[in-house]
């Protein structure tokens, strides 16, 4: 008898494929210009604290550690690899 391994693993993908981190979800909600700007800032020398402060001042709720993890590539977008 085979183990239905695929059934449990498919649940991890969610309804729309692999899950992404909150930063990627936020970027997906922005206009094209805003998304490009945020992506450029995330790659810049701006501190994570500055980025977090600007996003929260603009009404977005996102954790500073979440932003830092995305910038380092430690988030779900990259498989959480450190």
State the pLDDT at residue 9: 62
pLDDT for the residue 29? 93
For the residues of 21-81, what is the DSSP string, one character each?
A: -HHHHHHHHS-HHHHHHHHHHHTSS--HHHHHHHHHHTT----HHHHHHHHHT-SGGGTT-
Asked whether residue 68 carries a pLDDT value surpassing 90, the answer given is: yes
pLDDT over 70 at 18, yes or no: no
Average pLDDT over residues 1-20: 60
Where are the domains positioned within the chain?
Answer: 19-78
Confidence of residue 49 (pLDDT cuts 50, 70, 90): very high
- Amino acid 77: pLDDT: 85
Q: pTM here?
A: 0.74
């Amino acid at each position: 008898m085979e183990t239905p391994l695929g059934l449990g693993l498919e649940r991890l993908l969610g309804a729309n494929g692999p899950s992404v981190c909150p930063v990627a979800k936020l970027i997906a909600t922005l206009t094209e210009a805003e998304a490009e700007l945020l992506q450029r800032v995330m790659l810049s020398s701006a501190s994570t604290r500055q980025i977090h402060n600007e996003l929260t001042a603009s009404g977005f709720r996102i954790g500073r550690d979440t932003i830092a993890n995305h910038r380092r590539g430690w988030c779900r977008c990259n498989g959480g690899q450190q």
